[in-house]
Each structure stands twice: as C-alpha cells, then as structure tokens.
C-alpha cells in the first residue's frame, strides 16, 4: 500500500513475454546474488541499449555495486544471468567479456609509472602493443592530449580519472559500468567527467550503467533511472519520476 503523498513508479520488467521488449546491448534477467540467506541482489531485470545511460541509485548498502560486479562477472550470480547482445555471458570467455564490459570506479587506482604504461597495460596483457598514435587518440578522446609521458603521480584527481577511462577505452568496450566515478572529485572536475561520459556514450554508442548518489547528476546524464532497495529494483523509469518518488536529492 502506498503512503499518502507517495507515488509509485510502475516497474515494467523486461521479460520475454513483453511484446515491446527490445533486445538491449546488455540485459539482466532475474539476476540474483545470495550469500547465506541474504540476497545482496534480488532478481534484477533491466536492459540498456547502445548509446543509453542508465542511472543506478538507492541508499548506501542497497546493492548497487554488488549489481554492477555481476554485470562483468567479477562476482557470479547465484541465479539469473546477463545477456550481452543477446548472448548469455556464461558462454563467453572471461577475458573477452571483461574487454567488452569496461568498468571505472570511484578512484582511478592507476599503476605507478606513466600515463602510457597505464593505458597500454590491458592490451599488453594479451600481447598487443598499442602504438603511440593509438594512445594519443585515446588521450585526446578523454581530454588529455600530450599527457602520454606524464608520471601518474603528477596528475590531479580528475586527470587520473580520465586516464582510467582511457585505460578502459583501450579495450573498445561496448558497455561501461561506472561506480560513482565522480564522487571523489570536486564540482568542476565532476562536470568535466560528466561531459566525457556523455560524449563517449554518444560517439561510440556505448551502453552505460552508472551508479550515482547525486540527483542533479542523474538528471543531467540519464533519461532512465533504476532505484534499488535491499537488492531489489523498486523503480525503473524516467529519471525525474523515479528521483521525485524516492526523494533522492
């Protein structure tokens, strides 16, 4: 039952029975992670298309990060699965999956050394050498032209976060998982990262799932928002409706 004054946003699960269902770039179907008798993520159904940003919000401990970690299989769902372009991700090799599904977290976690070393690390792991031209293109894309030889110790927080985007983009991901990517940054650096996220999703038609606590940020970036409580999706719909219904500020 609804409390007086509270609006419930209708939640339409993406099910096979739904005649309007569009296959997404990434689609969670009944994704659950149970530890003991506790469901950290509880039957999440959501689909995100190419070029779309979905904001994921909810109180601390709601299961947002736990959900993202299931999408690139850092953790294993105890039931349900994820489809990547219509293919069950359990049929994909993990290294292929991790390249397809890039992740950027709250802090950049760069390796000691140069920007070049960080951006070329992933490809080097599988025996590919990124040419300087490719590295320059990636750095230009994230607004760091000319930074290739910089020691990462000399970077600002915002610059370091751009390097972590460039490092992820070196794998040409179709899907980006962003876990509060601006929460450690000041307003100006946050806005610059927001612009970058908008540009990347648009230019490269990436499907993006972004955890944020910041309602104005969700409004700026995401047409749709998913609100989680106790591991469950309790609202999924137009960002403003979802945020207003759940008093997210």
Ligand X SMILES: Nc1ncnc2c1ncn2[C@@H]1O[C@H](COP(=O)(O)OP(=O)(O)O)[C@@H](O)[C@H]1O
Contacts with ligand X by CB under 6 A lie at 35, 40, 58, 60-66
The entry of Mg ion, ligand X, none near residue 23 (CB within 5 to 8 angstroms by kind) is none
Min. distance of Cβ 231 from ligand X in angstroms? 7
Min. distance of Cβ 135 from ligand X in angstroms? 32
The entry of ligand X, Mg ion, none near residue 40 (CB within 5 to 8 angstroms by kind) is ligand X
The entry of ligand X, Mg ion, none near residue 35 (CB within 5 to 8 angstroms by kind) is ligand X
Rank residues 54 and 170 by Cβ distance to ligand X and give the closer one: 54
Rank residues 61 and 113 by Cβ distance to ligand X and give the closer one: 61
Residues at the interface with Mg ion (CB under 5 A): 65
Min. distance of Cβ 148 from Mg ion in angstroms? 32
Q: How far apart are CA 167 and CA 115, in angstroms?
A: 9
Helix locations, the chain, DSSP H: 64-71, 94-100, 115-125, 132-141, 157-169, 187-203, 215-221, 239-245
Rounded to 5 degrees, what angle do the CA atoms 207, 212, 214 make?
A: 130
Min. distance of Cβ 43 from ligand X in angstroms? 15
The entry of Mg ion, ligand X, none near residue 60 (CB within 5 to 8 angstroms by kind) is ligand X
For residues 115 and 147, the answer to whether their CB atoms sit within 8 Å is: yes
State residue 172 phi and psi, 5-degree precision. Answer: 50, 60
Min. distance of Cβ 65 from ligand X in angstroms? 3
Q: How far apart are CA 211 and CA 178, in angstroms?
A: 6
The dihedral through the CA atoms of 100, 111, 196, 132 has a sign that is negative
């Amino acid at each position: 039952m609804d409390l007086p004054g509270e609006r419930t946003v209708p939640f339409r699960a993406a099910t096979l029975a739904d005649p309007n269902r569009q296959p997404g770039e990434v689609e969670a179907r009944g994704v659950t992670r149970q530890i003991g008798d506790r469901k950290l993520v509880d039957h999440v159904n959501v689909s995100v298309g190419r070029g779309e940003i979905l904001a994921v919000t909810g109180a601390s401990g709601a299961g947002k990060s736990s959900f993202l970690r299931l999408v690139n299989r850092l953790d294993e769902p105890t039931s349900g699965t994820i489809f990547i372009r219509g293919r069950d991700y359990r049929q994909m090799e993990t290294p292929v999956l991790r390249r397809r599904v890039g992740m950027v977290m709250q802090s950049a976690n760069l390796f000691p050394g140069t920007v070049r070393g960080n951006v070329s690390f992933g490809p080097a792991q599988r025996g590919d050498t990124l040419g300087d031209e490719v590295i320059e293109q990636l750095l230009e894309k994230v607004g760091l032209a000319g930074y290739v030889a910089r020691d990462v110790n000399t970077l600002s927080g915002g610059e370091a976060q751009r390097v972590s985007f460039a490092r992820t983009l070196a794998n040409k991901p179709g899907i980006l998982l962003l876990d509060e990517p601006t929460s450690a940054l000041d307003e100006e650096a946050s806005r610059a990262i927001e612009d970058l996220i908008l540009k990347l999703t648009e230019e490269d038609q990436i499907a993006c799932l972004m955890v944020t606590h910041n309602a104005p940020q969700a409004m700026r970036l995401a047409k749709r928002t998913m609100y989680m409580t106790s591991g469950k999706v309790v609202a999924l719909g137009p960002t403003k409706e979802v945020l207003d219904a759940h008093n997210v500020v």
